[in-house]
Structure 1
Amino acid sequence: MQRRVQLLALGGSLGLLLGALAFQYIGGMAPCALCIWQRWPHVVALLGVGTLVWPNPVLALVGAAGAATSGAIGVYHTGVERSWWEGPSSCTAGGDLSGMSAQELLDQIMAAPVVRCDEVPWDMLGLSMASWNALLSFGIAALWLASLRLRS
């Protein structure tokens, strides 16, 4: 039973990564900086695959921590999308433009990323991709933690 739960957790992280890549490369939706930040913890969570070869609770904890970190970034990203708080200045709109010369403004525009973190490019049932990632990632983290309590 423990192995099945761990396989489910691994499949969840892999599925979220593949889904994000599909939206990017098949759907043509370029990711923003926060979207990329949400992917890397799932790569870390996939290190939990080692538990299938070498049953070690530390690897399951690494998987749980990776998935939970991605979930936390997803919550932060959701807040940025919904204007609950400001996101990184490198990928959100706004800011104080007073006192800038035309050249400085042009330089800032030219250096700005194409994809903004504070816009929702896709949603399902009223939740953005960042929100779905948060929910699913916390579920994956719970699976990793549940696997620690189960015996093979």
Structure 2
Amino acid sequence: MPYALLIAVLAIAAPLFAQASESWWGLAPCILCLWQRWPYRIAAVLAALGVVLPGRLRVALVALSGVSILVSGAIAALHVGVEQHWWPSPLPGCAAPTAGPATQSIDDMMRSLAVAPAKPCDEPTYLIPGLPVSMAAMNLLYALGLGGLALVFARRLARR
């Protein structure tokens, strides 16, 4: 299997697995969870283009897909830090909803609530009961491995 195709398949597998975990196991994503998926989608498109484009373009696209995957890893690292309460989330939508100022009426508070409650980003989601590795931490490990693999593949392609 060509390097670019392997990276494309493995990159799109990550957001598909995350979406499947929502459907099959009822896991709810937070905003940072959703943000971690976009770099994989971008990486999959870049790597897929690398399948059909020749030479140096292929090398550049595989390398860029690796960088994109590492961006997801950086978001995952931020997310793990938020889950562990090492720092607060930079996104306002990550906080648990609050009632707002005391001067608001009940009707005002009800109108300000989201249609669906958001999962706070500092509440880890665990896929495997008893295994203290959150979905964000699993994504961090996957992104580091896959992003690194893509960069190694790009280097091998450049040597050909």
Shorter-chain-normalised TM-score: which range? 0.7 to 0.9
Q: 1:68 to 1:43 in 2, by over 3 A?
A: same
Mapped partners of 2:17, 2:66: distance in 1: 20
Deviation at 1:110, TM superposition (A): 2.1
Q: 1:17 to 1:94 in 2, by over 3 A?
A: closer
Q: 1:90 to 1:100 in 2, by over 3 A?
A: farther
Q: Indicate the SS of the match to 2:137.
A: helix
TM-score calculated relative to the size of structure 2 = 0.79
Aligned pair partner of 2:33 in 32, 35, 40: 35
* 1:92 counterpart = 2:95: yes
Deviation at 1:9, TM superposition (A): 2.4
Q: Which moved more, 1:55-64 or 1:135-144?
A: 55-64
Deviation at 1:77, TM superposition (A): 0.7
Query: Percent identity between the aligned chains?
Result: 33
Structure 1 consecutive aligned stretches of length 4 or more whose deviation exceeds 4 Å: none
Mapped partners of 1:109, 1:119: distance in 2: 22
2:52 is aligned to 53
Root mean square deviation of aligned Cα: 2.6
Unaligned runs of 5+ in 2: none
Mapped partners of 1:77, 1:63: distance in 2: 21
Aligned pair partner of 1:133 in 111, 134, 139: 139
Which structure is higher in RCO with an 8 Å CA cutoff and minimum separation 6? Answer: 1
**Residue correspondence of structure 1 range 1-152 to structure 2 within 5 A:** 3=2, 5-47=3-45, 48-55=47-54, 56=57, 57-87=59-89, 88-93=91-96, 100-103=102-105, 106-107=109-110, 110-111=113-114, 113-124=117-128, 125-151=131-157
Deviation at 1:22, TM superposition (A): 0.5
Q: Decide whether the 8 Å contact of 2:97 with 2:113 is kept in 1.
A: no
Deviation at 1:83, TM superposition (A): 0.5
Unaligned runs of 5+ in 1: none
TM-score calculated relative to the size of structure 1 = 0.82
* Number of corresponding residues: 149
Q: Decide whether the 8 Å contact of 1:44 with 1:62 is kept in 2.
A: no
